[in-house]
A and B are shown apart, each in its own frame.
Chain A
Amino acid sequence: MRVLYINNDGGGFADFINVPDGQAVSDFFAERMTDEDAGEYLIRVNRQPVARDQKLRDGDRISITPVKIEGALAGEIPSA
């Protein structure tokens, strides 16, 4: 099945890719984001946050985007 995959690592990616039927989001992340901590990203399917065990479906849009984009003078504690 095909899903639209969006992320910004490497050269950036926004295209349809083939994935195994019913692949779990956690497996998709582990496969695509080797050695990365899922806590450093917001993972959404069809614009909604998802549980790690959610199964992908044909035509889904999955995005993996960075979190905690913040600037501050030293000691300042950003709180979004």
Chain B
Amino acid sequence: MPRTTNRLCWPTEPPAALDSDDAPVLRFTPPAWAKLLYLRDAGPTEIGAFGITSADDLLRVEEIATVAQTASVASVAFDDAAVADFFDDQIDQSRRPEQFARMWIHTHPGDSADPSSVDKSTFARVFGRCDWSVMFILARGGDTYARLQFSVGPGGSLQIPVAIDYSRAFPGSDAANWQAEYERNVTPQRQPARIGRAERASALFDDHDLLTDDLNDPDDPSAITADYDPWEDMH
């Protein structure tokens, strides 16, 4: 099966090329990217966040914003009330929903950034009614995956490249505040549940707690989940 993820594509063209409208590219400012890497590596669990973009470039992530969440080495779930609080807070800061609520970001254990069936299902269910949205996954091993979906016009989705945009001035690290945000919002889940056989191999390499007794159960519903592809149901 061919790999669908990609290493971060470092721009080889002058920065102006990043502003081309020819093809969409998901770009991170250096501080946003640094914060995402920091949060990914701050603990053993996945982490999730919203990407906040500039008003004039909705594919340029300027800030990574976490909300209260429960996470394990192989899952992350946002607290519903925290999501609502996040919306309220962002509106109070005069941002529009398209700037703060369209970029769903999370990390994966291991080397694969390929979205799981749960990831795809969430992306379709939660963000499928938005005019457009992006799911971005960063693997611990460095691979990235970005999918842009849109529901306007004929609808559809496509995988888009990812880059870091150094074209504008940027501030330095803010590790103390990033750590405080991590500790405030990310609650580790102590008892991970079952892992489907499709992704078992990639998940098990670094967390032996995932070796549960029922991985080989032929009736494991996760096996069904792993085969389900909601993309086939979209549009």
Task: Report if B192 contacts A (CB, 8 A).
Answer: yes
Task: Report if B101 contacts A (CB, 8 A).
Answer: yes
In whole Å, how far is A4's beta carbon from the nearest beta carbon of chain B? 8
Alpha-carbon separation in the docked complex, A32 to B223 (Å): 38
Task: Report if A27 contacts B (CB, 8 A).
Answer: no
In whole Å, how far is B67's beta carbon from the nearest beta carbon of chain A? 9
In whole Å, how far is A28's beta carbon from the nearest beta carbon of chain B? 16
| Contact A68:B74 (CB < 8 A) given known A8-B97, A12-B97, A75-B225 | no
Interface size on A, residues (CB 8 A): 34
Interface pair A78/B76, CB less than 8 Å apart: yes
Contact of B117 among A14, A61, A66, A74 (CB under 8 A): A74
CB-defined contacts of A47 to chain B, threshold 8 Å: 84-85, 88
Interface pair B80/A74, CB less than 8 Å apart: no
In whole Å, how far is B143's beta carbon from the nearest beta carbon of chain A? 15
CB-defined contacts of A11 to chain B, threshold 8 Å: 98, 131
Interface pair B97/A7, CB less than 8 Å apart: yes
Interface pair A75/B194, CB less than 8 Å apart: yes
Task: Report if B19 contacts A (CB, 8 A).
Answer: no
Interface pair B78/A70, CB less than 8 Å apart: yes
Alpha-carbon separation in the docked complex, A75 to B197 (Å): 8
Give B45-100 interface residues, CB cut-off 8 Å to A: 46, 48, 69-70, 72, 74-81, 83-85, 87-88, 91, 96-98
Which of A4, A7, A74 has the largest number of chain B CB atoms within 10 A?
Answer: A74
| Contact A10:B130 (CB < 8 A) given known A68-B122, A69-B77, A75-B226 | yes
In whole Å, how far is A61's beta carbon from the nearest beta carbon of chain B? 7
CB-defined contacts of B6 to chain A, threshold 8 Å: none
Contact of B222 among A8, A71, A75 (CB under 8 A): A75
Task: Report if B184 contacts A (CB, 8 A).
Answer: no
Task: Report if B119 contacts A (CB, 8 A).
Answer: yes
| Contact A71:B116 (CB < 8 A) given known A47-B88, A76-B72, A78-B77 | yes
Task: Report if A79 contacts B (CB, 8 A).
Answer: yes
- Of the A-B pairs whose beta carbons lie under 8 Å apart in the complex, a sample of 16, sorted by A's number, is A6-B91, A6-B97, A8-B97, A12-B97, A36-B129, A42-B80, A63-B87, A65-B87, A69-B122, A70-B75, A71-B75, A73-B116, A74-B225, A75-B221, A76-B193, A80-B77
| A interface list, Cβ under 8 A from B | 4, 6-14, 36, 40, 42, 44, 47, 49, 61, 63, 65-80
Given pairs A49-B81, A72-B74, 14 additional interface contacts (CB within 8 A): A6-B88, A6-B91, A8-B101, A11-B131, A42-B83, A47-B88, A61-B88, A70-B118, A72-B77, A73-B196, A74-B116, A75-B199, A76-B118, A78-B72
